[in-house]
Amino acid sequence: MTSVGDDVHRPDGVDIGADGDPAPDGRRHPIDGLPVSVRTRIVEWAADVAGSAAPRDLSPVLQKVARFAPAKRARRAAAVLADAVQHDEMFRAMVAEHAAKLDIDGHPIIDRPAAAARAVLLGSPDADDLLAEATAGQDQADARARVGELERELRVLTIRLARAQEQLAAHAAAPPADPSAEVERLRKRLREQGTRLRELQDRWDAERAAAAAHGQASDAELDRARAEARAWRQRAEAATDRADAAAENVRRLRATSDDRRAVDDRRLDLLLGALESAASGLRREWHLIGGGPAPADTVAAGLPTPAGDQRTTDPVRLTLWAGLPGAHLIVDGYNVSKTGFPELVLADQRERLVRQLAAFAARTTAEVTVVFDGAAVATSRPFARGVRVLFSPPGVEADDVIADLVRAEPTGRIVIVVSTDRRVADDAIDAGARSAQSAVLLAAIGGTTTGGSPG
């Protein structure tokens, strides 16, 4: 459940904020910090997933691990698999999906380490409880193993003591040539065995006491963890109830506010309607005729236009012109390309210029047309999005095609012609267009100028 006002700590180690998303300081159980039995289950599942997954879904390191024999994969690459589960989100999700499909709870005796491992991978709310149970179970198993080892050693020593006593009795029944020395040797050996037996008995008693104390401490810790989890659940439920109540209050206030606003909007709408009706009545009464030019436009139409306003040597101003609504940029192709990069062959000049013009068109939204002399062209025309590429027909210069393009445009549209040819620029200005030299366009589009004369 989500909460309002307080963060909730998920048992899988991730802090949940009030909006249900992981808090910025969220944590995840480190694989290396899990109990050995739980970590072993996760590594075994990771080995199975690495062997069955498609190579494209695995990192290069896991692809090498996948080539190991199935029986050796978890044993030889345990550290690599654990690190991948901890830091590779995609691989961790694959292992979690594999764990979710396992029937762990369906057996009469539940595998506690496997259940805890699955809860850690899936981020289940009871992950901490299951980890505590797995830790307690592992500690008890380790204690039982140590007690078992001590019991086996005690049995071995007991057998050896019995044999020594039998040998002592046999020697007592048939004394050797030097009975005192042999008896003393056997007594010394018997004392040593008795001493070791008492030490072992003391160790066994101490281990049993330590195991019992550790088991009691683990049970107490498990009870404390369960009580804390229940307290968190109660806090989350209480916070959820408060959030539901607050949401209901907000809904009621919003409904009341909407009703009031609807009434106010209706009153304002009636007032505006009355004003519109009054204004329409005045227009009809006074016989007003609209649609004429603005007064400033009338004065501006009678003033001469300075010739300098139609030409520019500023790349920034050229860019501003191209950014005006509906602007059309017409470029004298070879005039610009031979000015900017004459060291290239014509085909490369065309490709480079068209590519740079495409970027300029995308930046300014202008319509761009570039015209090349087509008499010596025998290759396909370059293509770029947003740029129209034209070749003049045989016997016709590109200058004439540019003039036709300018004359075809409607009066009032922003048309910009780029060429260092004085005749082309003058004809464009006479037709109502604007002009700029090739070097200005090259500076605006990021090209270079070398000072060479254009063709």
Q: Which of 71-80, 187-196, 286-295, 429-438 is most confident?
A: 429-438
Handedness of CA 176, 180, 183, 185 (dihedral sign): negative
* Other CB atoms within 10 A of residue 44 CB: 17
**Tokens linked to 51:** 């062997």
Q: Which of 46-55, 96-105, 166-175, 212-221 is most confident?
A: 46-55
pLDDT above 80: residue 142:
no
pLDDT above 70: residue 24:
no
**Tokens linked to 249:** 């209050």
Distance (Å) of CA 281 to CA 41, 270, 271, 287, 363: 87, 17, 15, 10, 48
Task: State mean pLDDT over 279-294.
Answer: 73
pLDDT above 50: residue 437:
yes
pLDDT above 50: residue 7:
no
Residue listed under structure tokens 């009031």: 260
Higher pLDDT, 440 or 292: 440
Higher pLDDT, 17 or 47: 47
pLDDT above 80: residue 354:
yes
Task: State mean pLDDT over 364-371.
Answer: 94
Distance (Å) of CA 75 to CA 46, 78, 80, 94, 344: 12, 6, 10, 20, 63
Tell if the pTM clears 0.85, that is, is over it: no
Q: 58-62, 86-90, 180-184, 419-423: which range is least confident on average?
A: 180-184
**Tokens linked to 252:** 């009621």
Domains, the chain, with CATH or none: 8-125 (no CATH), 312-445 (3.40.50)
pLDDT above 90: residue 439:
yes
DSSP state, 332? E
Per-residue pLDDT at 57? 86
pLDDT above 90: residue 203:
no
Q: Which of 103-117, 277-291, 321-335 is most confident?
A: 321-335
DSSP-assigned states of every residue in 125-177 = TTHHHHHHHHHHHHHHHHHHHHHHHHHHHHHHHHHHHHHHHHHHHHHHHS--S
Q: 7-16, 149-158, 346-355: which range is least confident on average?
A: 7-16
Per-residue pLDDT at 197? 85
**Tokens linked to 37:** 């039995």
pLDDT above 90: residue 341:
yes
Per-residue pLDDT at 300? 56
pLDDT above 90: residue 126:
no
- Give kind and range of the element (H or E) at residue 388: strand 387-391
Q: By percentage, how much of the chain surpasses pLDDT 90?
A: 27
Task: State mean pLDDT over 437-448.
Answer: 88
Residue listed under structure tokens 């506010």: 257
Distance (Å, rounded) from C-alpha 23 to C-alpha 19? 9
Give 309-321 pLDDT, tens digit per residue: 789 999 999 999 9
Higher pLDDT, 234 or 107: 234
Mean pLDDT taken over the chain: 81
Task: State mean pLDDT over 7-36.
Answer: 52
pLDDT above 90: residue 332:
yes
pLDDT above 60: residue 96:
yes
Task: State mean pLDDT over 240-254.
Answer: 86
Task: State mean pLDDT over 206-210.
Answer: 87
pLDDT above 50: residue 20:
no
Give 291-314 pLDDT, tens digit per residue: 566 677 566 555 555 555 789 999
Q: 165-169, 228-232, 397-401: which range is least confident on average?
A: 165-169
Q: 21-25, 82-86, 164-168: which range is least confident on average?
A: 21-25
Higher pLDDT, 126 or 22: 126
Q: Which of 14-23, 156-165, 205-214, 426-435 is most confident?
A: 426-435
